[in-house]
Amino acid sequence: MASTEEIRSSLAEIVNEIAGIPVEDVQLDKSFTDDLDVDSLSMVEVVVAAEEKFDVKIPDDEVKNLKTVGDAVAFIERAQNG
Amino acid sequence: MSKTRVVITGLGATTPLGGDVTSTWEGLLAGRSGARRLTDEWVQNLAVQIAAPVAVEPTEVIERVKARRLDRTAQLAVVAAREAWADSGLEDSGLDKERLGVAVASGIGGLHTTLSNYDALQQNPRRVSPLAIPMLMPNSSAAYVSLELGAKAGVHTPVSACASGNEAIWLGLDQIRLGRADVVVAGGAEGAIMALPLAAFGMMQALSKRNDDPEKASRPWDLDRDGFLLGEGAGILILESYEHAKARGAKIYAELAGAGISADGHDIAQPDPTGSGARRAMQRALSEGDLTPADIFHINAHATSTPQGDIAESIAIRQALGKDADHAVATAPKSMIGHLLGGAGAVESVATVLALKNRVSPPTINVDKLDDQIELDVATEQRKLPDGDIAALNNSFGFGGHNAAIAFKSI
């Protein structure tokens, strides 16, 4: 099972690929919209890429709850363990 | 009422001959072909396996994250627009962006995006990009150019097949003459070298099938021509009111004197063999520009290298200019860069402006044996243009019977 840090690191690479945010900026306490400037359409791309990368389902209704990188990492951890 | 004078104050291009205006112009003057045989896997079972791809991949120029949000066509448009904008010196001129318009045409739109997302859809609907619509829509190039430059007057996308690029210049000219803008970034782009267009144009019998000799495939006016060569790229011109350009001491390439649009009302794909629609477009461009046939010394012909189209245009030019066609050098850049569809008129307008400014007509290559039905002064070598006040025409015609002629004047 991937560690929290491994998930954060992989997610950071996805965010970098899609939105060009430096990987070191993608930390657990950062808000996707307010801190990282990831717009809503890019967020959809991040979610779909994360689903494929981590082999989880992230329902569209859930995306609005993923405000920070930490929220997303926690969701992925739960989904993988579930 | 006197017409607002409009001039060209910036040029940009990315073409099969080079990633900018200078390299493209040098390639045209040298008579260099941008054609090559395609080696991609997707081309292997197609009847036509040749094209003229851009010399410089747009992704080498545009920032990675931005590039992935743009269809190839819009990437090409943005590359050319950046060059034209920088060339114009407008960024630091204090131009009110609400007086800055955009007219960037495309013949097809974001076809790469359409096709790749259709493939993704077949695998899994969630793989369809949330950016697919803004990338595939035909106005995407114009919209991204306006975002890039902060243009806030109208943003327009004429769609008239292969006449689109010239129609954008026609539209931009009107925007300035109607007082709606002081500057319009005008041109066209197309990045459609893909299996579907090659197969579809091939099924129309519109493309040359000279797979074994790509550089000889595009041969406008030659007796052995057998269709056009698909190219890609973009051309952008900065159109500016003369008063505005003069006030800021801008470099001026040429005057955009007039533009003429007409329709054949004849057939969806075949040109009117009498040339009547094309003739009317040229005549309108001349009369709107207060020019007469005697002023025309250079004609950038549409001349795609199709058997019927080249003849119909020759007839039309003869009808429009009469005996004055004798002193007009005819040139066909498509012999070198292929047919850029929605980008054609724009890139060839850039070439026409440079011909006037530098007083030289680029050659037409591959005219080994001039078709005797072509009654034009075809230059197979560079030809010097006379000094003094001269003018030039650039023709573009499109499927659907669209005719768009632009008249430029030396300055």
Q: Which residue matches tokens 């975002």?
A: B147
CB of A63 within 8 Å of a chain B CB? The answer is: no
User: How far, in whole angstroms, is CA A42 from its chain's centroid?
Assistant: 11
Straight-line distance from the first to the last Cα atom of chain A, in angstroms, rounded to the nearest whole number: 12
CATH code assigned at B390: 3.40.47.10
On whether residue B400 sits in a domain, the answer given is yes
Task: Choose one of B220, B247, B274: the last residue of a domain.
Answer: B247
Mean pLDDT for the stretch of residues B195-211 = 98
On whether residue B256 sits in a domain, the answer given is no
CA distances from B326 to B321, B322, B333 (A): 9, 8, 20
Asked if the Cβ–Cβ distance from B68 to A18 is below 8 Å, we say: yes
Beta strands in B242-328 (DSSP E): 254-263, 296-300
Q: Which two tokens stand for residue B83?
A: 């060059």
What residue numbers bound the domain in which B289 lies?
A: 261-409
- Size (chain A), residues: 82
The pLDDT value given to residue B341: 98
- pLDDT of residue B168 exceeding 90, the answer is yes
Question: What are the residue ranges of helices labelled H in A1-82?
Answer: 4-19, 40-54, 60-63, 69-81
3-state class (DSSP) for residue A49:
helix
The Cα–Cα gap between B313 and B317 comes to 6
The Cα–Cα gap between B301 and B313 comes to 8
Of the candidates A19, A20, A45, which has its C-beta nearest B130's C-beta? A45
The pLDDT value given to residue A1: 65
Confirm if B101 and B185 have CB atoms less than 8 A apart: yes
On whether residue B63 sits in a domain, the answer given is yes
User: Which of B300, B319, B308 is CA-nearest to residue B391?
Assistant: B300
Mean pLDDT of chain B: 97
Note whether B123 and B65 are same-domain residues: yes
Note whether B26 and B76 are same-domain residues: yes
On whether residue B192 sits in a domain, the answer given is yes
B162 as an active site residue: the answer is yes
The Cα–Cα gap between B7 and B48 comes to 40
Among B70, B126, B127, B135, pick the best mutation site for testing chain A contact (most A Cβ within 10 A).
B126
Note whether B208 and B271 are same-domain residues: no
CA distance A51 to chain B (A): 10
Specify the DSSP class assigned to residue B3: P
The pLDDT value given to residue B402: 98
On whether residue B1 sits in a domain, the answer given is no
The pLDDT value given to residue A81: 86
Q: Which residue matches tokens 């941008």?
A: B34
Active-site annotation holder among B38, B78, B162, B406: B162
Q: How many CB pairs under 8 A join A and B?
A: 15
User: Which of B11, B1, B12 is CA-nearest to residue B77?
Assistant: B12
User: How far, in whole angstroms, is CA B122 from its chain's centroid?
Assistant: 35
Confirm if B187 and B233 have CB atoms less than 8 A apart: no
What amino acid is encoded at B176 in this protein? Answer: I
CB burial of residue B249 (10 Å; 0-12, 13-18, 19+): exposed
On whether residue B64 sits in a domain, the answer given is yes
Domains detected in chain A: 4-81 (1.10.1200.10)
**pLDDT tens readout for residues A15-60:** 999 999 999 999 999 999 999 999 999 999 999 999 999 999 999 9
3-state class (DSSP) for residue A23:
helix
Confirm if B392 and B352 have CB atoms less than 8 A apart: yes
CA distance A13 to chain B (A): 13
**pLDDT tens readout for residues B346-397:** 999 999 999 999 999 999 999 999 999 999 999 999 999 999 999 999 999 9
On whether residue B254 sits in a domain, the answer given is no
The Cα–Cα gap between B124 and B372 comes to 56
The pLDDT value given to residue B261: 98
Per CB-CB distance under 8 Å, the chain B contacts of A20 are 63-65
Q: Output the 3-class SS for B129-154.
A: CCCHHHHHCCCHHHHHHHHHHCCCCC
**pLDDT tens readout for residues A33-43:** 999 999 999 99
- Size (chain B), residues: 411
Note whether B72 and B203 are same-domain residues: yes
Task: Choose one of B213, B247, B281: the last residue of a domain.
Answer: B247
The pLDDT value given to residue A48: 95
On whether residue B253 sits in a domain, the answer given is no
Note whether B265 and B243 are same-domain residues: no
- Classify the complex by whether its ipTM is higher than 0.90, answering yes or no: no
The Cα–Cα gap between B213 and B365 comes to 14
- pLDDT of residue B65 exceeding 70, the answer is yes
- pLDDT of residue B1 exceeding 80, the answer is no
**pLDDT tens readout for residues B111-131:** 999 999 999 999 999 999 999
Q: Which two tokens stand for residue A5?
A: 């840090």
Report the number of distinct structural domains present in chain B.
2
The pLDDT value given to residue A2: 81
- pLDDT of residue B303 exceeding 70, the answer is yes
The Cα–Cα gap between A19 and A30 comes to 15
Note whether B221 and B332 are same-domain residues: no
Q: What is the dihedral of CA B185, B109, B190, B197, to 10 degrees?
A: -160
Note whether B355 and B228 are same-domain residues: no
CA distance A2 to chain B (A): 24
The pLDDT value given to residue B2: 78
Note whether B217 and B319 are same-domain residues: no
CA distances from B404 to A81, B35, B231, B263, B346 (A): 64, 26, 20, 9, 11
Q: Which helix (H) or strand (E) holds B104?
A: strand B100-105
Note whether B266 and B234 are same-domain residues: no
CB of A41 within 8 Å of a chain B CB? The answer is: yes
Task: Choose one of B247, B270, B294: the last residue of a domain.
Answer: B247
User: Which of A10, A4, A9 is CA-nearest to residue A51?
Assistant: A10
Asked if the Cβ–Cβ distance from B130 to A51 is below 8 Å, we say: no
Asked if the Cβ–Cβ distance from B65 to A20 is below 8 Å, we say: yes
- Look at strands B100-105 and B183-190 and give their pairing: parallel
Note whether B112 and B55 are same-domain residues: yes
The pTM assigned to this predicted structure is 0.96
Confirm if B351 and B320 have CB atoms less than 8 A apart: no
Q: Which two tokens stand for residue B276?
A: 């009547």
**pLDDT tens readout for residues B260-301:** 999 999 999 999 999 999 999 999 999 999 999 999 999 999
Note whether B234 and B350 are same-domain residues: no
Asked if the Cβ–Cβ distance from A41 to B63 is below 8 Å, we say: no
Q: Which residues contact B12 (CB under 8 A, 6 or more apart)?
A: B20, B21, B79, B80, B81, B82, B83, B84, B85, B87, B187, B234, B235, B236, B237, B350
Q: Which two tokens stand for residue B301?
A: 């012909």
- pLDDT of residue B110 exceeding 80, the answer is yes
Q: Which helix (H) or strand (E) holds B244?
A: helix B242-247
The Cα–Cα gap between A72 and B253 comes to 55
Note whether B240 and B276 are same-domain residues: no
Mean pLDDT for the stretch of residues B189-218 = 98
Q: Which helix (H) or strand (E) holds B321?
A: helix B307-321
- Look at strands B155-156 and B402-409 and give their pairing: unpaired
Per CB-CB distance under 8 Å, the chain A contacts of B63 are 20
The Cα–Cα gap between A14 and A72 comes to 12
